[in-house]
A and B are shown apart, each in its own frame.
Chain A
């Protein structure tokens, strides 16, 4: 679906409000929306909500052979998908620009910053390493996808547990989760992206733009930082020209925000770990609020299946027996069998010379008569390319009234003989060819 265009009055309204330091949802210039992190039952699964923007993250691992030039390092793979439910404009073919930009930014933020220790992912140098795959799905687009995605990625990575492996000499043992508790990944630091939207050629700036604000912004500055105030990635897009002190100011703001967000993440991870250890209830079912009017829960419901057998027998007793199976397979040669006869070959005189039997396994669709005629005529058009006279003939022939139960009425006198009979398309075509040969 095409994206609904933003009306001029809405654009002007937003820009005027920003000039007066007002945001539509009542936030201040440097305020973030509410961040909510919920975890699933399996390790490495989380949903992050940044206001109404929602991202699902899942981490999975697999043992693979390492890359040839990095024999002792594990492999990291990031994939952000803009699901079609996130926005009506996100169709499979249409979002490549945005998708590439987001994926690249995410990769730079997480891979190049070396936040995950890839050396620890090595099992047998040169032979087996862990491949960690992070899949992010955008579920709802209400602005600032990159922030939500980076938070989801780092939370999922911190939450994930990989199976334990032990190496004793030549023997490698991979333990299942039942045998040995899975092991967390070794993460050095947590880079988080903070987005700044600029308006009116860099005069006004907003942190964490929502979808409307993103539509009217001039440019975007994304700074990925960790809580130690180290910048992992910085990217400015949109062609705005920023002054040095503007960029420095943004990095200071980012430092403050990242510290807050990191604290929130650590608290959420701690809560989840506590609940799991104490044997409490966890998972997405628990994060659905009890008192919300749009949510509803039902406990385990026992089903009475005692009368199932009687009912089944009743139905079978009343049912008619199945009809006799008609077709039996015909074995042509060892390895080639045929069931059913199929429809007679309806191609025109092109296939005349190549005497084709019914194709093996002849469950062809039943071809309507009219389509048969159609293909017959088209083939004859292709065949009649020798003399100009014939070309004009075929042009006339194109004006054919196709009726499903009768042969097409040929306008020219040459083929009027074909009109009356209810013959398959082959015959009239054949006759025409004979006439040409006579010419």
Chain B
């Protein structure tokens, strides 16, 4: 059970939290990336966004099973493992989203009848997990030397109940309107009981994958309620944020 330890502002430092109140302008949390940290995979990267951390390993281009072979391009496979428990449907759906994004940028036709496997391990989840997975996957693919037509990055926005946009939300900011049990005792009573509190954190959470060449949209995954103008606003904000992420990539690779 991962508890929200970083809500206690007293003993947490700035780097450890990521949920310190953001001003009127949005901001991305502290980023860190380390490449080539594992010796077995062809490419590996660990990407940290605030407290969220994902480790990615890439094998490829490598031998592929005949059943999965595609005659004119590489077979891309994405595996996402959660930290606790067995992988479920949510992981499968995220795997598919990440795979679709990767397939759009990886030049698979240069390596036909091979397989490129991206394995992602969630090391800690404190909000914006899908975006962090995308970033880790991109850095790992670069480290492995897989040919790509562009880099890609993931950005998450959360929309408040009053329409305020928050970029790179923490898990507390991401919770899409939930009931909070304020009472005492282990037996959870139904929502009719007065001890429940309607905790409104986010009305909608949107995740976008953008490419580095023209900041076009590669993938979007949203949860919650929002209008079309809000969607366009979030997308524009994500594009502005992706500038910073790509600059981070460039500086990280230039070392």
Binding site for B on A (CB under 8 A): 1-2, 40-43, 45, 47, 52, 54, 56, 58, 60-63, 81, 83-88, 128, 133, 135, 137, 139-142, 163, 171-174, 176-178, 182, 276-277, 279-286, 288, 292-309, 311-313, 315-316
Contact = CB atoms under 8 A, between A and B. Distances in A.
Contacts of A302: 23, 25-27
Contacts of A85: 38, 40-41, 44, 55-57, 59, 119, 121
Given A305-B167, A311-B232, A299 B30 contact: yes
Contacts, number: 216
Given A2-B63, A281-B15, A63 B186 contact: yes
Contacts of B3: 42-43, 163, 176-177, 182
Contacts of A178: 7-8
Given A83-B119, A85-B44, A305 B25 contact: yes
Given A140-B39, A297-B33, A301-B244, 18 more contacts: A1-B63, A2-B63, A40-B124, A41-B51, A41-B126, A45-B123, A52-B38, A85-B44, A85-B119, A135-B83, A173-B185, A177-B4, A283-B124, A293-B255, A294-B35, A296-B255, A303-B26, A303-B167
Nearest to B157: A305
Contact of A40 (B30, B123, B228): B123
Given A296-B251, A296-B252, A43 B36 contact: no
Nearest to B240: A303
Contacts of A86: 40
Contacts of B31: 297-298, 301
Interface in B38-91: 38-41, 44, 46, 48, 51, 53, 55-57, 59, 62-63, 79, 81, 83-85
A245 to B, nearest CB: 37
Contacts of A176: 3
B14 to A, nearest CB: 8
Given A40-B53, A135-B85, A303 B241 contact: yes
A137 B252 contact: no
Given A88-B40, A295-B34, A309-B233, A128 B186 contact: yes
Nearest to A87: B40
A293 B232 CA distance: 38
Interface string B222-255: 0000001110110111001100100010011001
Contact of B119 (A63, A84, A133, A286): A84
B110 interface: no
Interface residues of B, number: 75
Contacts of B16: 41, 281-283
A150 to B, nearest CB: 19
Tell me the dominant secondary structure on chain B's binding face: mixed
Given A284-B124, A313-B229, A300 B186 contact: no
B6 interface: yes
B148 to A, nearest CB: 19
B84 A295 contact: no
B92 interface: no
A62 to B, nearest CB: 6
A47 to B, nearest CB: 7
B91 to A, nearest CB: 13
A347 to B, nearest CB: 28
A194 B121 CA distance: 27
Contacts of A88: 40, 59, 62
A257 B81 CA distance: 33
B2 interface: yes
Contact of B38 (A133, A139, A177, A300): A139
B213 interface: no
Interface string B97-124: 0000000000000000000010101011
A312 B232 contact: yes
B34 A300 contact: no
B38 A305 contact: no
Contacts of B55: 56, 85, 139
A295 B81 CA distance: 23
A279 B23 CA distance: 23
Contacts of A63: 186
The 10 closest A-B pairs by CB, nearest first: A85-B57, A312-B232, A296-B252, A85-B119, A295-B34, A312-B233, A302-B27, A140-B38, A311-B236, A297-B32
